[in-house]
Structure 1
Amino acid sequence: MDKKKLITEVLKNEVVKALGCTEVGLIGYTVAKAKPEDVYSIKEIKLTLDKGTFKNAFSVGVPNTGKFGILPAVVGGLLGNKDNKLEVFKDIKYDEELEKFIEGKLKIEVINSDVYCKVIIKADKLYEAETKGSHSGKSMPENLKNAYKNLTLKDFIDYSDDIPEDVVKLIKETIETNKNLSTPEVPEDFVNLDINDEILNYMLKKTVSAVYNRMIGANKPAMAIAGSGNMGLTATLPIIAYDEIKGSDEEKLIKSITLSALTTIYSAYYSSYISAMCGCVNRGGIGAVSALAYYIFGTDKIEESIKSFTANLPGIVCDGGKIGCALKIASGVFAIYLSLHSKVPYTNGIVGKDFKECIENIGKIGQAMKLVDNEIIEILKRKI
């Protein structure tokens, strides 16, 4: 497969629409695939989740339920349509009586795995469903992932300069979908920022508002990148905000968002879809830095800006999806903006000599943090 076909296939697989946090979407979708016709015949639901899915679903808002966490995700799945996949909560009318009926029947097991959700429902018979490998269950073959990991920053820039029409359509949908999540603005009783820098202030408001809205369960989809809606928001909204305030150049915006998606996915492939390191900041941040440097300066400062970003925030932990993610994303936007206006030498810490080595080094740190996840899971379990 030639480079352009490979990149196109990866983009179409990794940029997908999701309603609500992708982990509660994963749970709801898998439950919907397994549910019996009569949900009140259920005697037990056993849910087996990987650590990352458990962590990210534990405290996050579930669209159209007014609730937070795993139980409403399960109930939402029982009410939802499996054909909606990661938009499974679309159009559901929440049922409090069903929640009360299910609550004592739900058993949860957490395992050490990549993205994984298995549902076994005991009712008039056994009903089972499983989703693994990615949130939609459709994952890229390892040989194509490895081929993608062997591409270069120049390959991604060249592709962004000559994007196939069907991908342009996907990127336009991504821009409009993610921009729509940035309203209403984040409430002032959660965070109240008014920074005396017009560009940074606008980037923060757009991005933080979108993440906050998504984490409280707003009934608006996001275009997820590499399995994460928040990562998709971080990788796109700072660039969208910059374009709105400084550019209004649709062609340049589309090229920049494409580059952001490509480098975000590349970063995820060197790490994982869910990890102990906050991917929304670290992987989505890499994408946003790449794209903003490209939008503002052309190709000359992309690598330099990525080195500066690598020197800053990698290592920030992921303790699950929740409204507090909006604060982590705020820190990420600060770091993204700062990286455009700083220069850190290769001799510093985990900074790589080039784009590829920076991504590899961040990925290695992420892999080394796996034990951190165990402690986070134990802390969460004590809250049940």
Structure 2
Amino acid sequence: MKRSDIQYQDCIKILEEELLPAMGCTEPIAVAYCAAVARETLGEAPDRVVVEASGNIIKNVKSVIVPNTGHLRGIPAAAAAGIVAGDAGKQLEVIAEVSEAQQADIRTFMETVPIQVEIASSPLIFDINVIVYAGESYAKVRIANYHTNIVLIEKDGEVLQSSEIKDDSESDLTDRSFLSVELIYDFANTVELEDVKKVLDVQIDYNMAISEEGLKSDYGANIGSVLLKANKDVMEHGGESALRLKARAMAAAGSDARMNGCELPVIINSGSGNQGITASVPVIVYARAMGVSQEKLYRALVLSNLLGIHQKTPIGRLSAYCGAINAGAAAGCGIAYLKGADLDGIIHTLVNALAIASGVVCDGAKASCAGKIALAVDNGILGYEMHLEGQQFVGGDGIVKKGVENMIASVGRLGHDGMAETDREILRIMISD
């Protein structure tokens, strides 16, 4: 693929749109961002706050710790953090810099200012409305469809910014419909590294740093540490089994940390920090252990990141389908690429991985995400190992379809349409206590 090709340029744009820095789980951070913009628009401290959020937002914010708040959880904490200490100009790093005094102010704000949370009467999967009041004055900000997409800013009846929203489509982003596994493989092999180096260097630095922090400290269920401690004999013997274990443990540890209050940023993929970690960290771990060139690592990360985006596009940003499964399958393909797999090997790795574990549910952001990530990475690697042994799942095996693009569409239909009612039931279960 040539740099002058439109599809080449669009692949670069997609990577730049998707591989963004974020502090903490992206849904509470989106709430904080929305609240920070509302506070900025109001121009004074509010005396009342209303947050209207779609069910998937509530699901993903309910159990996760909001960073830089002193381990507070939930939508009220996210909104309060954005209002009290948010820097709206930093978008998904809106509460990256919060002083101890501001943390105390966040708690005080939550204790003294009513923060009402309601389920939005909206057909959209991703929808956040924050309304802040000061006496008779108010400001309203709405984010829809993806984490930084502000579609409404209104103050005291005057609409300051507005975009029409008809459905869940992401019209403001580069169209992804041209993506295919074959095109992504071609792009990964031919991309000029200077076009992707900057964004990938940050991904490597950020995502490895939070994974290392997750192994060093006590976060959540400590899945990464549990894996390593429970398999000391494997690590002591080294070899491929130890490398595979380390890749799983480090990816899980990154999630352990970010789900449970770590104040380090990550580079996200498809709107998710967990997916960003899963698609990148195992590939980096393997590349370093194998001693491959930096160029080979960059190309493997391009492949893995774009495959993650391609799989997630038909499913949507939020779903009852666990996106870590897609990212783990993509990481398996990145590892296969490092090991010399050709296009056929990448295709079979992806199909095998999706055939095994598609259907793992997303029940919100919380500590158990790390366990699902460990499973997803193992699953992706198994998909490649099956290919090496001449084994594969074929069209007609369950939801498996002949042709990798048909398989991706099959899983997309499962995640977007088939699990819609599952998504609603998960939310009902989560809020029933």
The TM-score, its normalising length taken from structure 2, stands at 0.83
Q: 1:377 to 1:298 in 2, by over 3 A?
A: same
Distance in 2 (alpha carbons) for counterparts of 1:277 and 1:242: 27
The reply to whether residue 159 of structure 1 matches residue 208 of structure 2 is: no
**Count of matched residue positions in the alignment of Structure 1 and Structure 2:** 377
- Residues 4-53 of structure 1, C-alpha deviation per residue, up to 9 Å, x if partnerless? 111111111111111100101100000000014432x41x3221212221
Is 1:51–1:112's contact at 8 Å kept on the other side of the alignment? no
Distance in 2 (alpha carbons) for counterparts of 1:69 and 1:107: 10
Per the TM alignment, residue 302 of structure 1 is displaced from its structure 2 partner at its CA by 0.6
More deviation, 167-176/80-89: 167-176
Percent of aligned positions that are identical: 27
Is 1:311–1:344's contact at 8 Å kept on the other side of the alignment? no
Distance in 1 (alpha carbons) for counterparts of 2:305 and 2:170: 16
Partner of 1:239: 283
- Residues 92-119 of structure 1, C-alpha deviation per residue, up to 9 Å, x if partnerless? 23122112113x4323224441322111
Q: 1:15 to 1:140 in 2, by over 3 A?
A: farther
Per the TM alignment, residue 206 of structure 1 is displaced from its structure 2 partner at its CA by 1.0
Which residue of 273, 294, 306 corresponds with 2:337? 294
Distance in 2 (alpha carbons) for counterparts of 1:345 and 1:325: 27
Distance in 2 (alpha carbons) for counterparts of 1:153 and 1:142: 24
The reply to whether residue 284 of structure 1 matches residue 327 of structure 2 is: yes
Is 1:267–1:286's contact at 8 Å kept on the other side of the alignment? no
Distance in 2 (alpha carbons) for counterparts of 1:137 and 1:242: 35
Per the TM alignment, residue 140 of structure 1 is displaced from its structure 2 partner at its CA by 4.8
Is 1:275–1:366's contact at 8 Å kept on the other side of the alignment? yes
- Residues 239-258 of structure 1, C-alpha deviation per residue, up to 9 Å, x if partnerless? 01111222342111100101
Partner of 2:62: 58
In structure 2, what residue type is equivalent to 1:309?
A: A
Distance in 2 (alpha carbons) for counterparts of 1:60 and 1:143: 28
Q: Secondary structure at the match of 2:227?
A: coil
Distance in 1 (alpha carbons) for counterparts of 2:208 and 2:112: 38
The reply to whether residue 115 of structure 1 matches residue 126 of structure 2 is: yes
Unaligned regions of 5+ residues in structure 2, if any? 151-168, 235-240
The reply to whether residue 273 of structure 1 matches residue 317 of structure 2 is: yes
Which residue of 15, 20, 23 corresponds with 2:19? 15
Partner of 1:349: 398
Which residue of 44, 53, 68 corresponds with 2:73? 68
In structure 1, what residue type is equivalent to 2:252?
A: V
Per the TM alignment, residue 142 of structure 1 is displaced from its structure 2 partner at its CA by 7.4
- Residues 307-327 of structure 1, C-alpha deviation per residue, up to 9 Å, x if partnerless? 210221100000000111111
Distance in 2 (alpha carbons) for counterparts of 1:173 and 1:275: 28
Q: Secondary structure at the match of 1:318?
A: coil
Alignment of 1:363-374 (within 5 A): 363-367=412-416, 368-374=418-424
Alignment of 1:221-236 (within 5 A): 221-236=265-280
More deviation, 200-209/338-347: 338-347
Distance in 1 (alpha carbons) for counterparts of 2:292 and 2:170: 34
Per the TM alignment, residue 267 of structure 1 is displaced from its structure 2 partner at its CA by 1.0
Which residue of 243, 257, 260 corresponds with 1:199? 243
Is 1:32–1:81's contact at 8 Å kept on the other side of the alignment? yes
Unaligned regions of 5+ residues in structure 1, if any? none
Partner of 1:381: 431
- Residues 331-354 of structure 1, C-alpha deviation per residue, up to 9 Å, x if partnerless? 112211211111323132122322
Is 2:59–2:427's contact at 8 Å kept on the other side of the alignment? yes
Distance in 2 (alpha carbons) for counterparts of 1:63 and 1:266: 30
Larger radius of gyration: 2
Distance in 2 (alpha carbons) for counterparts of 1:87 and 1:143: 20
Alignment of 1:86-235 (within 5 A): 86-92=92-98, 93-94=102-103, 95=105, 96-102=107-113, 104-110=114-120, 111-124=122-135, 125-137=137-149, 140-141=170-171, 144-145=174-175, 148-164=176-192, 165-186=194-215, 187=218, 190-191=222-223, 192-194=226-228, 195=231, 196=234, 197-235=241-279
Distance in 1 (alpha carbons) for counterparts of 2:409 and 2:291: 33
Q: 1:140 to 1:7 in 2, by over 3 A?
A: farther
Q: 1:143 to 1:334 in 2, by over 3 A?
A: closer
In structure 2, what residue type is equivalent to 1:81?
A: D
Per the TM alignment, residue 161 of structure 1 is displaced from its structure 2 partner at its CA by 1.7
Per the TM alignment, residue 162 of structure 1 is displaced from its structure 2 partner at its CA by 2.4
Per the TM alignment, residue 167 of structure 1 is displaced from its structure 2 partner at its CA by 1.9
Distance in 1 (alpha carbons) for counterparts of 2:73 and 2:86: 17
Distance in 2 (alpha carbons) for counterparts of 1:180 and 1:47: 33
Is 1:22–1:86's contact at 8 Å kept on the other side of the alignment? yes
Is 2:329–2:376's contact at 8 Å kept on the other side of the alignment? no
- Residues 164-203 of structure 1, C-alpha deviation per residue, up to 9 Å, x if partnerless? 4232211121111111111224449644123322111111
Q: Secondary structure at the match of 1:297?
A: coil
- Residues 50-102 of structure 1, C-alpha deviation per residue, up to 9 Å, x if partnerless? 22211111111111112122121011111211111111111123122112113
Q: Secondary structure at the match of 1:341?
A: helix
